[in-house]
Amino acid sequence: MQLDLSSEQEAFRAEVRAFLDEQLTPEMRRGASLTSGVFAEPEVAGPWQDALEARGWLTYFWPREHGGTGWGGVQRWIFETECARAGAPVLPGMGLKLVGPVIYTFGTDAQREHFLPALRRGEHFWAQGFSEPGSGSDLASLQTRAVRDGDDYLVTGQKIWTTQAQFANWLFALVRTDQEVKAQRGISFLLIDMTSPGVTVRPILSASGDHDLNEVFLDNVRVPTANRVGDEGQGWSIAKFLLENERGGTGYAPLLLADLERIERAAALSGSLADRAVRLRLEAEALEMTELRTRLEIEAGEPPAPRSLATKLIASEIRQGIEELALDAFGLAGLQLLPARPFHHHADDLVGPPEAGLAAARYLNARAWSIFGGTSEIQLNIIARAALGS
């Protein structure tokens, strides 16, 4: 998609490109190109996060009063587009895009002062403790309990599908603090130190062989009441705010388009494969326009239009289509599943370009796009209710 940018916006794009040329090192680009999961691992993402924080651009989507840049919707789109085209690592979003906005919106002054700077410096690595066995898309049925004990809660339960919990030292979690009221009203939002006694993390290996997901067991974990965000029983409202950021607060299109372009270059598509790529590009460009229109509406003080609810659903379908295309395009070279993370220097060499060597892993991992952040079926229900005004 081509926009008619103002001279100031063109100058900003040139500034972003110059920053990327200078600060996005070959090692960072290599690590990003060899990442098969959704987010880069700390050894890949950490140096890039440090570079962005040093430039003041790490939390570009936060409001200025909480350390953000104050950029408008077009600037944010330019920045995300240029980072995607340059092959920058995708930073884990659990801290920066999910719990960070929760803390500066609902947290106390003490919580903001303690948690937000540590998050930005990379001292706190966050995981999300929402889903439980039997309580995924139906979060209101969660069973993890937090029982008041003086100035603490004793938290007991199990969380599952917890992305990158093996690296995390903090967990934000929904817990049940009241068993007697309606399910949604008995839920609270806690910040849990994962180094506390009683926290156990067990890996879940994906079909790709990747270790991105985990189970987290909480056995009478002592959590200070000062680590509760909001009031008791406010957790459901806070979770809805957070999930809106997860499902619709991210610009998906820039990375989708950049990944599609890389596959087209690496595979030299022709015939029906080229036709599929054209259709995917048109769908991603339409999504890009929708995301940008929504950002500009919100920036103008308007509520997001109902079409914004469909962005995560559509992005999931496009992502899966791109990875299916790659698998078909690279043939036998696209069937590699490596036993070690390929960005580790001791890993076996890939056959062909990174796009081929990671095609199978990325295809398998992409199946989860229509599950995480709310299943596609749940998204369709939300869209239907919005369309019907119910």
State CA 223 to chain mean position distance: 26
d(CA 175, CA 156): 9
Distance CA 161, CA 177 (A): 22
- Chain segment 233-289, per-residue pLDDT in tens: 999 999 988 887 655 456 899 999 999 999 999 999 999 999 999 999 999 999 999
Q: What is the residue-level pLDDT of the chain in tens, covering all 390 positions?
A: 567 899 999 999 999 999 999 999 999 999 999 999 999 999 999 999 999 999 999 999 999 999 999 999 899 999 999 999 999 999 999 999 999 999 999 999 999 999 999 999 999 999 999 999 988 777 889 999 999 999 999 999 999 999 999 999 999 999 999 998 998 999 999 999 999 999 999 999 999 989 999 999 999 999 999 999 999 999 999 998 888 765 545 689 999 999 999 999 999 999 999 999 999 999 999 999 999 988 888 777 776 666 667 888 899 999 999 999 999 999 999 998 877 666 665 566 778 899 999 999 999 999 999 988 778 888 788 788 877 776
Domain definitions of the chain by residue range: 7-91, 125-234, 251-388
Is residue 27 part of the annotated active site? The answer reads no
For residue 346, the model assigns a pLDDT of: 56
pLDDT of residue 71: 93
State the fold for domain 125-234. Answer: Butyryl-CoA Dehydrogenase, subunit A; domain 2 (2.40.110)
Per-residue pLDDT reduced to its tens digit, 177-219 = 999 899 899 999 999 999 999 999 999 999 998 999 999 999 9
- Supply the pTM of this predicted model: 0.91
CA distance 212 to 166: 8
Range 251-388 classified under CATH 1.20.140.10:
yes
pLDDT value at position 374? 73
> Looking at residue 248, what is its pLDDT?
47
pLDDT at 247: 52
In the set 132, 246, 264, 288, the catalytic residue is 246
> What pLDDT shows up at residue 310?
85
pLDDT of res. 186: 95
Secondary structure of the chain in HEC code, one letter for each residue: CCCCCCHHHHHHHHHHHHHHHHHCCHHHHHHHHCCCCCCCCHHHHHHHHHHHHHHCCCCCCCCHHHCCCCCCHHHHHHHHHHHHHHCCCCCCHHHHHHHHHHHHHHCCHHHHHHHHHHHHHCCCCEEEECCECCECCCHHHCCCEEEEECCEEEEEEEECCCCCCCCCCEEEEEEECCCCCCHHHHEEEEEEECCCCCEEEEEECCCCCCCCEEEEEEEEEEEEHHHEECCCCCHHHHHHHHHHHHHHCCCCHHHHHHHHHHHHHHHCCCHHHHHHHHHHHHHHHHHHHHHHHHHHHHHCCCCCCHHHHHHHHHHHHHHHHHHHHHHHHHHHHHHCCCCCCCCCCCCCCCCCCHHHHCHHHHHHHHHHHHCCCCCHHHHHHHHHHHHHCC
